[in-house]
Chain A
């Protein structure tokens, strides 16, 4: 209780101090954790027009700039959740509020960013825990659409958008012999039948990629009978290697399939989920395929797996030299991103690597390492000020800045907390 009172005082205090929409300020006296380098005790950061223009110990504040005192506090770069449904889904159980998936197996033309709801209640909740940017991931069957990297601040999707097409999402076809709980028909599907379905889906996928290649040629040749098609348009940056294909694959067989597919189609690949990526770590490393791991705090896939398999997977990938980031693949649980990384620390992942996985690694994987992911000159001032290590659940996030802008720390959780605290 005393701790909470202190928090509220601090928040109130911080509110006065950091109020205003000005994206130019000088933060001093705090311990700065740039992630890209060693921590800087008693460090300062100069932010102008939303960008970091200076980080160091003995900086002097320019005269015209507002000063923010950070004594006793810690500064980290804002965290990046590399897979969420934020803005696409409000309440999972209410169909009208869920825009995560489209029908059909080939929907590369879908863009997540256009559908993101900037007024989602999940945004203030998530960013209040230091998460400043997220991947909004369309999820369906097969090619499910374009994942967008979004800042968690803005009145419109344009203001939020960092990268409209951060990746193209493909859910790898799998040989599915166990029907999902809600599927119709018998619970088990004969292997031969499941394999046939899978082969059909793979063939369809390969044919689609070939058609896209033909389209690409016809387009560059400006053939007179050329007819623009949104689906194939969307595939061109993927075929050119400008946009990576984010392939969801859980089991070893599916991951190997995905690697083979990426080789065959000569495209840039990111592995999503990869629960069994530890079985394929060597191949991932040789091909430089990064992984967006899912929840660490989860149960093992199979009943005979070690109880801590999901906890140790990040450390195993790290030891094998595979680059990875974390995604929550969720809406309301996105705020728990740092704890997903923290759980891996307790099971062998170095602390700094866990932090990198939710900051600079993510920025590199999504091709925005020049803009975010660490506290360095020239990058956007996506910052979080805390009273401790963000991987610790007790740590309080005091203030978050997105592009140098002091964001509103109020959110639904906080309002409910105060409401019920005041209950007679």
Chain B
């Protein structure tokens, strides 16, 4: 064995030791295991050792040193992944923009790099002790992909596990992709949709040139003019993929066209009207993150005002989007989009099941699909040997109303969700 590997396993032992709740070896015996990568197995055993899944199968014998969990009547799923969230940054909702002390001078063009924090990394911003981490975990989420969301180029997302004392232990991929919004910049450039899109195009052009210029200079700095350092381009270059907002069909087409032009690897987020854009999505092979915050009627609207058919159709058909995408083989994942509790998130996913999505596809959209979209499916998203031991154990079907989460495993550490107190429910109602 190489010394490096020894070191890694050593570190792992140390980190596991921080959770002194029990042994680092567990065996869930005689449970129904929804592997996602294959058909579910009844009366199956899952062995977890040192944060990884050691063995899965009907005929697996629990090792002697394992803490055995009687699994009869329980179902084991891979840990759920929230494919786009602000978990860990500041509660489930994106933080309100704080006004700068002295507002910067208005931008005149792309050269001023307005509304651009592409260099921000959510990995550097998340807080391990943020209450949203534990709340999501108690609901069965073991992994979140969190992004900064405040600017046109908002910054890079992070794939991270929802348990740990230090951020460093939690992060799986600190470079999940660049989050882009089409928010116009108010009274400063870009102040219109076409301005924002032109700005995004210019940034990618500049980034390409920047990369080339830097490579040439790094080879032979002597006698060459020094290319100016630009952190906004660095952030763009470092991002392996780009998240583009696309809710309505027209926006989906617009973003697919933009992505083709920029030659970037896009992921669309929103997708409420993606059922209408099946052909173009299929052709492009672009994955979609589907919001679970289905459009709803405004509670404080004027009862005498008839809503237009367009709005009613959007509301009616949005939950059917996942079913349509699954049928057409388009890769998609769910994201919580600011929904307050994991319970509500699963309830919203159930709506998609009611509108035609199969339960297994719904589970996939919360596990393996997001892992594939973010390129971490070799580690996350299914119950297979060697994958990270992120599991959620329930007493029934994940989407059934009465089902309770019994255990959550994150990196092989076992958590039991705090029992739901009636007060918590009342508090939630108050805040809504």
List residues of chain B with CB within 8 A of the CB of A193.
300
Asked if A304 meets B306 with Cβ closer than 8 Å, knowing A190-B300, A191-B300, A192-B300, the reply is yes
A188–B300 Cα distance when bound, in Å, is 9
Is B308 interfacial (CB-CB < 8 Å)?
yes
A-B contact count (CB 8 A): 26
Contacts of B306 in A (CB 8 A): 302, 304
Cβ contact within 8 Å between B305 and A177 = yes
Are the C-beta atoms of B301 and A191 separated by less than 8 Å? Answer: yes
With A and B bound together, what is the CA distance between A191 and B305 in angstroms? 11
A188–B298 contact, CB under 8 A?
yes
Total contacting residues, chain A, CB less than 8 A:
13
**Complex formed: what's the CA distance from A188 to B298 in Å?**
10
Instruction: Write out, one digit per residue, whether chain B residues 287-327 have a CB within 8 A of any chain A CB (1) or not (0).
Output: 00000000000101111111011100000000000000000
Q: Which of B302, B309, B310 contacts A177 (CB 8 A)?
A: B302
Q: How far is the CA of A188 from the CA of B302 in the complex (A)?
A: 10
A253 touches B309 (CB 8 A): no
Bound-state CA distance A348–B302 (Å) is 33
Check: A225 CB closer than 8 A to any chain B CB.
Answer: no
**Cβ < 8 Å to B, chain A residues 154-203:** 175, 177, 188, 190-194
A304:B308 contact, CB within 8 angstroms: yes
Minimum CB–CB distance from B281 to chain A (whole Å) comes to 26
Q: Write out, one digit per residue, whether chain A residues 98-114 have a CB within 8 A of any chain B CB (1) or not (0).
A: 00000000000000000
CB closest residue in chain A, given B300: A190
CB distance from A198 to the nearest CB of B (A): 11
Q: Which of B263-306 contact A (CB under 8 A)?
A: 298, 300-306
- For chain B, what secondary structure do more than half of its interface residues adopt (helix, strand, loop), or is it mixed? loop
Q: How far is the CB of A305 from chain B (nearest CB, A)?
A: 10
**CB-nearest residue of chain A relative to B311?**
A303
Complex CA gap A192/B302 in Å reads 8
Q: Which residues of chain B have C-beta atoms less than 8 A from A303's C-beta?
A: 308-310
Tell me the bound Cα distance from A60 to B309 in angstroms: 66
User: How far, in Å, is A22 (CB) from chain B's closest CB?
Assistant: 59
Contact partners of B301 in chain A: CB under 8 A: 177, 191
Query: In the assembled complex, how far is the CB of residue B96 from the closest CB belonging to chain A, in whole angstroms?
Result: 14
B183 to chain A, nearest CB (A): 15
Separation of A175 and B302 alpha carbons in the complex (Å): 8
Residue of chain B at shortest CB distance from A190 = B300
B101 to nearest A CB, angstroms? 23
A194–B304 alpha-carbon span in the complex (Å) = 13
Chain A residues in 8 Å Cβ range of B302: 175, 177, 191, 194
Nearest first, the 10 closest Cβ-Cβ pairs linking A and B are A190-B300, A177-B302, A303-B308, A191-B302, A191-B300, A304-B309, A304-B308, A253-B304, A191-B301, A175-B302
Interface residues of A (CB under 8 A from B): 175, 177, 188, 190-194, 251, 253, 302-304
- 25 contacts across the A-B interface (CB closer than 8 A): A175-B302, A175-B304, A177-B300, A177-B301, A177-B302, A177-B305, A188-B298, A188-B300, A190-B300, A191-B300, A191-B301, A191-B303, A192-B300, A193-B300, A194-B302, A251-B304, A253-B304, A302-B306, A302-B308, A303-B308, A303-B309, A303-B310, A304-B306, A304-B308, A304-B309
Known: A193-B300, A304-B309. 4 other contacts (CB 8 A): A188-B300, A191-B300, A192-B300, A303-B308
